[in-house]
Every structure is written in C-alpha cells, then in structure tokens.
Structure 1
Amino acid sequence: MYKPRLLLFLITILFSTKTVYSQSGPLTNYTVKVMPINWSSFQKKAPHDQLAKVVQTSLLNANKFALTTWYRDIKKYQQDSSGYLDLKSKSKVNEYRYRFPAAMSFGIAIAIKTGIYDSAITGVSLEEAKNKTIQMVSAVAYDHKVNQKRKVWGGDWQAAHWAYYSGYAAWLLWDDFSKKDQTYITRMIVSEADRFLNLVPLYYKDSSGKVLFPGDSKIEEDAWNAELLYLAAVMLPNHPNSDKWLHKAVEYLMASTALPSDLHNSRVIHGYPVNHWVQGSNMEEPGFVINHGIIHPQYNAIASMINAPIVFALAGKKTPESARFNLDKIYYSVTAHQFSSPPYKAPGGTMYREGTADVYYPEGSDWGQGVYDNYANLDIAAFTYGWDNLAQKHKGKYWAKLHMDKVLVQQKRFADGHTYAGDQENSYPGREEAIASRMGSAWMTIWLQAQVPVVYENKPISEN
C-alpha cells in the first residue's frame, strides 16, 4: 500500500533535481555545460602586415607590464588561506578590485590563444603567464556573491563589464580551469545575465526628448550589459535562458547607440522596426556622445560597442545586425562631422585631424588628451567590418595606422611596456588595464577576420 506514495516521492525528487541555475546558482547537481571554442576551425596564419605587427607588439607590451611590474609590484597578488588570490586594492571600490584583473586577463588570454604570446618580449614564460591569468580569473569568479564564498561583488553598476572580461578570458582558456572553477565562472556569468531579464535599458533622453541623466549618456552601461548578455547566450546555448539573454542583448545593443531620430525609424531589425526596440536615445545627431557633461569623443570609442563579432565568430555563429546598429554614424561623427568655433573650442573642425593622431575635443576632455588606443580599436573595427562607409576623405585603416603608431611610441618610452606617463595623458586609474583590453580587442578583430570573416545576419530574434 506504500508503493503509490513511494512513486509520488520519487517523481517529486526527479523533477526537483532538474532545476537549473537561478540567481543563487545551480541548486542541484544538474549543470548546463559551456560550449567550448572549436580551435581546430582557426588554423590560418595570423596577418603580418605593418598594422597587424604594431597591434601585436602593443598587446605584448601590455602583457609584459601586466605580468611583471603590475602583478608583482603594484598589485602584489598573493594567495590567501582560501587558495585564491587576494584581489586587494588600495581602494575599496569594486571597480578597481575586479575590473582591472579582468581586463588584464582578457589581454593575456587573447595573446596566448591566438599564438602570439612571446616570452622573449614579456620576460615571463608561457606557462607562468597562463597560470597567472587562470589565478586572476578564478579569484574574480570565486569572489562573486553567487558563489557564496567571500560574497564581495555581484550586481554592481559595472558588474556585467567585469563578468564579461573575466568570462571571455575563461572561455578562451576553458580546459585549463579546474571543474570547480569552471562551475564558479559559469555561475557568475549566469547570475549577472539573469539579473537583466526583468530590467530595461537606460536612456540619456526619453522618447519626448527629456534629459533623464543630465550630462551622462548611458551608451557605455548599455553596451557593456549587452556584452555580458550575448557572451552568456553564446557560451551557454543550451541554458534555458539563452534565447532570453540574446533577445535582451539586442535591446541593450539598440538602446546603447540610439539616436533621437530612431524613435521614428521603421527599418526592421530582428523582426521588429527600430522604433519598437528603442524607447529613447543615448547619442546626439549625427552620432556624437555627451558624457561627463561635455561632447566626449572618448565615449564614441568605447570597446564595449564593438566586441560582438569576436564573440559570435569564435563560436562559429553569425553576428546579429543589432551589434552594428548606428556604428557607422558614430564613426562619421569622429571622422567627418564639423564642429564650428565658436561655440566650440578653437580651432573647430573634425575630431580626427588629417596627418596626426591627435584628436580634437570640442569641449575639452576630463580624461586627458593623450589617449589613442581606444580610437585605434574603433578604427580597426570600422574598416574590418565595413562601417567606416560614411567616413569621407579617409577610411578606418588610415586612422588606425596613425593612432596605433602613436600608441607604440608611447610604450617605447618605458622598459616595462606600460603606456602612459601619468594623469596628464590619461587620468583614469585603470588606464593600463584599459589598454590591455583594447589592444586585446583590436588584435582579436584582426586575427579572427583572417580566420573566418565576420558575417552579420538580420533574422528575427525571439525570447523563446
């Protein structure tokens, strides 16, 4: 007489054990596996033209600094009693504690997996470089609150950004991580992606033109949130939320570069008109960005907007059309749009100046005016993927050469391979970490395009 009750009990157990990831991570022993990169698909030689060589050298210089002076003398990373690195920072701000090792790991992992890592340049063996990268990424994931260990970070303003860089680096080196750390990394990615499913993108201006965040475009936040979402969808295609993540990534991609005119744009992208996707704007016509209270060229050149092809192509997938939405307008605004003086600072003209790497800042720059790597990364993506079509006299490759040569000149000043002389050139505390991520992005753009040229597609994308 107990058999029906026993059967009911067994059925209950069976269904409960198929529960998958939630905000607090996998609740049972059921796991959704990461889809590994098929490296055998990428057997062609890396490009060796002059621009490719400069980008490669710049990335290796950034790797050298990361693995020597930065890791050893600045961060002084050591394992603590947990067996993981103590990602200590002079500041208690999580951005400095997690964004910086995540960015450095991204640059090193790319150099390793694309076959250009050179211990003769960095002074650090390949094995040591890989181990340090694994240790940094593992510590970032271990500290995420979803893993219920140190519970230091998770859900922060920039958390998706840190999860993207560390998650991407982990994906490149996936088989080198322990099963335990693979679980921590996966949980981190799922947790950060899931939290956006019930959120909507932010806008600088709403649909009526009202400024919601004075002087503070949300292009950057929306773009890095999108990055994490599509990375999760690509890495975990069999996760029950994968389609939802990809759909939400499209929302954030479209929002990040939306112009006021897009509120009336009937062009169909992924099954819906543009004005269905966007609820406001984050750029000004014809494509420049207001941030920190000024027209800010550096926010026209954020790497988060342009990384999608290097994720989708690694998985052998076509890149969603939304990943290049209005990027031609952004590039037009830095290469061809004229700013008159007055009202803008003398001498006026275009942001990019013929024959020089120097950039014109119509209203100044609070980050310094010695930053060139972000523009080089933008230029390389623009000519590689063809959205420099609105540039006029000179296309992306012309500007990329100017900006990359300047980056290399900056790095040659220092024996340890770092780039900036100080705050007067770039005042961001993570400036060296940022160049590691940008040069990683630039090199991966060049390397992947030589392997499997990126193809965009505009098919409908559903949440289900």
Structure 2
Amino acid sequence: MSDLPALSRRRFLGATSAIGLTGVFGAGTTGTALAADGSGVVPVNWPGLGSYPGADAAGKRVTAILAGSSRYLIGPWYAATYTRYLPDGYIDLKGTDERAVRLPAMAAVAATTALVTDTYDPRTLSAANATIRTRNLIRTLAARHRANNTDTATRWGNGWQTALWAYYTALAGWLFWDRLAADERDHLAAMLVWEADRLTTGNDVHLIGTGGEQLYMTRRDGTVVTPGDSKAEEDNWSAAALSLAAVMMPNHPNAARWTRRNVELLLAAAARPADLTSDRTINGIRLSTWLRGTNIADDGTLHNHARLHPLYMVAFDQSLYQGFVFGLANRAAPKAALHNITHTYAALVDKPFPLPGGGTSPIYRENSAEIYYPEGNDWGTHFPFYFGNFDLLVTLTGQDTGIDPAAAKWERLHNNAQLSLMSRFTDGRTYGATSENTYYGREHRIGAMAGQAYLTLFLSRNSTGNRLRWA
C-alpha cells in the first residue's frame, strides 16, 4: 500500500472515463462543467483550480489510503451489495436506514474523489466501470430522497442523521457533475435544498423548529439536557449540509439563510463555558449573546456515549472539511469552522489523564500511534486514520499553534499505522475482525474521510498556492 506511486493529478477525468456510459444510461451525460444548469448549481471550475501532485510525504500516505479504500468500496463491496437493477432503472438500496443510505453515500465520496483526481487504482476494476458504479450510487440515492420520491416504502430523509447522508451524496454528485444527466442533477439539488431548508427552521436552542433536538448538551444555567451525549457531532454534520448547499447554489433565494445557519451550528458545536461570557464576535455572531449552552469543556474535551470520548473529539473533522468545500468554489470558509479546534487538539496531545495502574498519560501516547482512551472506547480497538485524518486537517489549517509535538508528527505516526492495517489485505480494505471497529460502516467511514482529506490537501498544496482561506 505505502509503495503506491504518486500519479499526476488532473482536474477531472479525461474522455475515456465515459466509455460505456451512453450505452448503459443513454445520451446527455457529459454536459459542460463550467456553467450553472437549470437547478442553479454552479459546478466546480476544475480548470481554474490548478493541480496537486501528491508527492509530499503526507500526500503519498493519504493517496494510498484513498486509492485502496475506494478500490475496495466500488469493487468488491459494491459487487457483493448491489446485484440487480429495479424496474425503474435504479439499483436496490435494500432499505431506507443508515446502513442502506449512509454507507453507499460515503462510498460515493471516496470513489468520486479518487476518480476525479486520478488517484483511483484500476488494477481490479477499470475506471470506466468504476464510473458507472459510482454514478449508480449517486443517482439512486438522490432519486430515493423524499424531495424526489413519493413512495413511503423507498424514500429517505427528514431524520436525525439525514442531513449528513444528503451532504455525502451531494458532495459526490458535485464532484461528478460532468458525469450526470440533467434529471440526476436536479434530483441532487432538490435533495440538498430540502435538507438544508429544514435546518433553517431552528433557533439558538433547537436544531429544527422550536422543540425536539437541541443544540447543546448543557444549557447556560448548568442544566445537563443530554447527560454524556454532546451535540457537537450532530451540529457540525448538519452545518456541513448547509455549507455545501450555500456553496453549490450561491444564487439560490435561501443561500443567505443557509450561510447564517451554518455559522450558528458551527459555533454551537464547539461552544465552551468560556464562550458564554465572551464578547468575541465570529462571522457576525457575538458568542455571549447568541449561545444558549455548551458542548465541550473549557479544556477542549467532550463526552459522548457516557464517557470522555476521543473519537468524538476528532469528529470536529467535519467542521474543518468546510475549508475544501468553500475552496472548490474559490471562496473563503467561515472562521466559525475553526472555533476552539486548538483547545480540542491540545487536549489530545498535551492533557494528562490518570492511568489505571498509577501515573498519567495524554490521549496521544508519546512517539506512538497508540491511542489512550481514559474512560474506554465502546467502538473497538483500531482507529488510527480517524486520528491521522484529524491530524492532517489540523496541520493544513494551522490549528496546532503552540502545541508540542506538532500535528504533522502525529499524522505520520497515525497514518502509517493505518497503512499497516491496510497492508494485511489485497483488496484495499482496512479491517479484519469486527472487534477492531464495530461500526457496520467502518470501511465506508475510512473512504469518506480519505476523500475529504485528499480534497483538503488538493486545495492546500495546490500548484496555484494555498486555496484554504477563512474569513
């Protein structure tokens, strides 16, 4: 895995990528990549973005992870999961729950990123066939969303996590815009608009509407609303959908509402007690006035699953991904996405926690890829890329200032450990025994992280200069 050669990165797939598409799906699949279409989506201007050779050490590691993961997901996993087309021409998702929707959406992020950046490894499946499979995932997921589907037995949407599923699907579709037919593009836009609009109905306490899910684990008065269950992750994955909608459809009538709500959710996700009395204003929002609670401690730690949980501390990767989302449109991401990241990263690297047998240790073990979970880990035993991905994002966004060792050192340790896990298999997968990572979407999570990490590298270490900007 680690010996995978770095390839020259083009802006988008060449003409050979469309081989077979007309015969399978009909004509009209390769429209312009530079002009907004009827849905109002402005595609990525790939020719204007420069290139990224991936020749730096971190780039070689992430390239190898993405190439292997995408090869597994769009190869063996897809082949075993999707064995038939339904009468309406879509693949059978086999349900409407997280397993049926989130997993293929994450796989699509990995595959599209690998294909459009020439990091795809075709040793077991050609790029042309991988393109067909990837397009199947995108077009089916979008068509089955309730914005486009009246069949209650097959539609998804309007759920606790569905904004995240829509984000993954829409991101994959945006990257693959040149490969999609007009109706497929419209389905993607309608899906993302529907989920983004739902999120703008909330306020400074509630995620949606004026009841139900709240933005904070702990209220301003100290009342713990959801003991041991930070709302940070839900807030920042909801923000992701809003950010992508605003970037993809900047001229939409609701774009300003999506932009504002994105900032609100980013700030709520990372809110600390100290923020409740802070006069600081970020992206037009004064913290002490708007925030109604907190999700992380002043030291940057947070609790989820009734424990201090390092895996949910690095879930702020979703906030940092906004750098590449806005960067693909040559725009600055909101500074709110960086809020309190340094505190959380310092808690991973420098904060000592008691050891069972005496003494202390930080979460990041000295000169080791091993992770210390002060209150245990209920998800399994092997998560190096969850941390290596976050290390890389912290490095590229400069959020490790004053922290020693710096994030680049930890990225090397953790991502080399990830490559070691992958080297055990020939098909690109990461995990063996279920006990290593008990999440049923473990391979898909690796792929989605790898795709978004690579896109962040693409924007940060671009031939035209660093395109990650914050304002």
TM-score for both structures, normalised by structure 1: 0.88
* Structure 1 residue 223 displacement after superposition: 0.5
* Structure 1 residue 67 displacement after superposition: 1.8
* Structure 1 residue 215 displacement after superposition: 1.1
Supply the distance in 1 between the matched residues of 2:82 and 2:224 (Cα, whole angstroms).
Answer: 44
Supply the distance in 1 between the matched residues of 2:292 and 2:59 (Cα, whole angstroms).
Answer: 40
Deviates more, 1:267-276 or 1:361-370: 267-276
Equivalence for 1:134:
135
Gaps of 5+ in 1: 1-29, 459-464
Equivalence for 1:82:
88
Deviations, residues 136-172 of structure 1 (Å, cap 9, x unaligned): 0111111111112434211111101000011001001
CA distance 1:215–1:93, shift in 2 (3 Å): farther
- Whether the aligned pair in 2 keeps the contact of 1:147 and 1:188 (CA below 8 Å) is yes
Match of 2:108 among 105, 109, 134: 105
Equivalence for 2:416:
405
What is the RMSD of the two structures over their aligned residues, measured on CA atoms?
Answer: 1.6
Match of 2:335 among 315, 321, 325: 321
1:66 equivalenced with 2:73 (yes/no): yes
Equivalence for 1:293:
306
Equivalence for 2:429:
418
Deviations, residues 120-147 of structure 1 (Å, cap 9, x unaligned): 3xx1111111111111011111111111
Supply the distance in 2 between the matched residues of 1:315 and 1:347 (Cα, whole angstroms).
Answer: 49
Please tell me the residue identity of whatever aligns with 1:349: S
Supply the distance in 1 between the matched residues of 2:56 and 2:185 (Cα, whole angstroms).
Answer: 37
Supply the distance in 2 between the matched residues of 1:390 and 1:213 (Cα, whole angstroms).
Answer: 33
Please tell me the residue identity of whatever aligns with 1:44: S
Supply the distance in 1 between the matched residues of 2:273 and 2:434 (Cα, whole angstroms).
Answer: 35
1:280 equivalenced with 2:284 (yes/no): no
Supply the distance in 1 between the matched residues of 2:331 and 2:151 (Cα, whole angstroms).
Answer: 36
Match of 1:34 among 28, 41, 44: 41
Equivalence for 2:373:
361
CA distance 1:363–1:346, shift in 2 (3 Å): farther
* Structure 1 residue 213 displacement after superposition: 0.6
Supply the distance in 1 between the matched residues of 2:450 and 2:54 (Cα, whole angstroms).
Answer: 15
CA distance 1:93–1:361, shift in 2 (3 Å): farther
Equivalence for 2:398:
386
* Structure 1 residue 456 displacement after superposition: 3.8
- Whether the aligned pair in 2 keeps the contact of 1:265 and 1:275 (CA below 8 Å) is yes
1:206 equivalenced with 2:212 (yes/no): no
Larger radius of gyration: 1
- Whether the aligned pair in 1 keeps the contact of 2:82 and 2:93 (CA below 8 Å) is no
CA distance 1:290–1:93, shift in 2 (3 Å): farther
Supply the distance in 1 between the matched residues of 2:83 and 2:148 (Cα, whole angstroms).
Answer: 21
Deviations, residues 46-103 of structure 1 (Å, cap 9, x unaligned): 2302221111011111011112221112x13421101011111xxx561111100000
Please tell me the residue identity of whatever aligns with 1:174: W
Please tell me the residue identity of whatever aligns with 1:270: N
Match of 1:224 among 237, 242, 245: 237
Match of 1:271 among 272, 275, 284: 284
Supply the distance in 2 between the matched residues of 1:286 and 1:454 (Cα, whole angstroms).
Answer: 30
Match of 2:63 among 32, 56, 59: 56
Supply the distance in 1 between the matched residues of 2:278 and 2:467 (Cα, whole angstroms).
Answer: 26
* Structure 1 residue 115 displacement after superposition: 2.2
Partner SS for 2:172:
helix
Identity %: 34
Supply the distance in 1 between the matched residues of 2:122 and 2:290 (Cα, whole angstroms).
Answer: 47
* Structure 1 residue 340 displacement after superposition: 2.8
Equivalence for 1:373:
385
Please tell me the residue identity of whatever aligns with 1:328: T
Equivalence for 2:360:
348
Partner SS for 2:412:
helix
Please tell me the residue identity of whatever aligns with 1:56: T
Gaps of 5+ in 2: 1-36, 208-214
Supply the distance in 1 between the matched residues of 2:75 and 2:138 (Cα, whole angstroms).
Answer: 17
Equivalence for 1:251:
264
Supply the distance in 2 between the matched residues of 1:69 and 1:150 (Cα, whole angstroms).
Answer: 30
Please tell me the residue identity of whatever aligns with 1:391: I
* Structure 1 residue 334 displacement after superposition: 0.6
* Structure 1 residue 326 displacement after superposition: 0.8
TM-score for both structures, normalised by structure 2: 0.86
Please tell me the residue identity of whatever aligns with 2:378: D
* Structure 1 residue 258 displacement after superposition: 0.7
Please tell me the residue identity of whatever aligns with 1:335: V
Please tell me the residue identity of whatever aligns with 2:158: G
Supply the distance in 2 between the matched residues of 1:293 and 1:287 (Cα, whole angstroms).
Answer: 17
- Whether the aligned pair in 1 keeps the contact of 2:327 and 2:469 (CA below 8 Å) is no
